[in-house]
Amino acid sequence: MIAYLVRRLLGAIPLLLGILTLIFFVLHMAPGDPVLKFASPNVSPEVLDQMRRNFGLDQPLHVQYFKWLWSFVRGDFGYSFGQMRPINEILPEILWNTLQLTLISLVVIFVIGMLIGIVQAVRQYSIADNVLTFVALFFYSMPSFWFALMLILIFSLHAGQAGWPLALPASGMTSIDYDYLSAGGKIGDRFLHLILPAIALGVGSAAGVARYMRGAMLEVIHQDYIRTARAKGLSERTVIFRHALRNALIPIITLLGLYLPFLLSGAVLVETIFAWPGMGRAIVEAILARDYPMVMATSFVIAAMVVFGNLLSDALYAVVDPRIRND
């Protein structure tokens, strides 16, 4: 199994390099000039030309590519044109912010989705099954950006105007008085700011997981060994959670690797709407500012996270099904 994962990891290197090479040439061949954002009546054309030379933009494209590739191999992502800071200082901050949002969203997706799917399978064709199917399809078909705006209108704007006991924050990661809060207050404040973005990012995908979970559980609970477990007098909870759920988890674990890129792409919109300072918002601002080094660095991190997610799902697959380890 370890040899298999090592082979997958080595095979991902040319894949990542190919993705980054494609992004590099598409980005540099698109119309526009990064230094024009500094243009103003007080800045002479000579100054702009000097900035192009400083950024290396006056050199041929293939020279820029090999210089970028050599820096990238050495772990140097360059200097952000937009933030005027080394990218190696920026990346850890925005990566941690996105990981917080993504991990909470993954919990929302799989906990809620699996619970709904199990209830639907156990109560097949009942009123609860039909109602949960309707609700799941309703949220699954809803665009995440529109759902995010509705959450802000209801649980932040309307809740504040109507005097609800709790009005959730609509933007940012912390409140204005965050620095003056106690340790517990800071954790609570950060959690409150995470609720709406995590729900906006995760509920639609949770509905999809619920449909997969329902189908997988229905296949398992009609197997002979489940009838045998019930015939032995085991409680229904033991039969479902100990015998049926483990075998139904295999297709759900596969979804972990598939949902990670979906979450990262969805985070671009959700982080922008909620002003969450993460990878998604950073890449949008970098593209608009033609901040080439920042776009390349964030694209690499996102691609690497997708590869890691797929490796993680393969490893979990082997944990759930020992036959794969033996193969």
Claim: this prediction has a pTM higher than 0.85: no
Residue 320: per-residue pLDDT: 66
Residue 16: per-residue pLDDT: 84
Residue pLDDT, tens place only, 163-180: 888 889 988 888 888 889
Residue 51: per-residue pLDDT: 85
Class of domain 92-274: mainly alpha
Q: Please state, for a pLDDT cut of 90, what percent of the chain lies above it.
A: 17
3-state DSSP of the chain: CHHHHHHHHHHHHHHHHHHHHHHHHHHHHCCCCHHHHHCCCCCCHHHHHHHHHHHCCCCCHHHHHHHHHHHHHCCCCCECCCCCCEHHHHHHHHHHHHHHHHHHHHHHHHHHHHHHHHHHHHCCCCHHHHHHHHHHHHHHCCCHHHHHHHHHHHHHHHHHHHCCCCCCCCCCCCCCCHHHCCHHHHHHHHHHHHHHHHHHHHHHHHHHHHHHHHHHHHHHHCCHHHHHHHHCCCCHHHHHHHHHHHHHHHHHHHHHHHHHHHHHHHHHHHHHHCCCCCHHHHHHHHHHCCCHHHHHHHHHHHHHHHHHHHHHHHHHHHHHCHHHHHC
- CA 106 remoteness from chain centre: 8
In the chain, where the domains are located: 92-274
pLDDT < 50 regions, the chain: none
Residue 116: per-residue pLDDT: 92
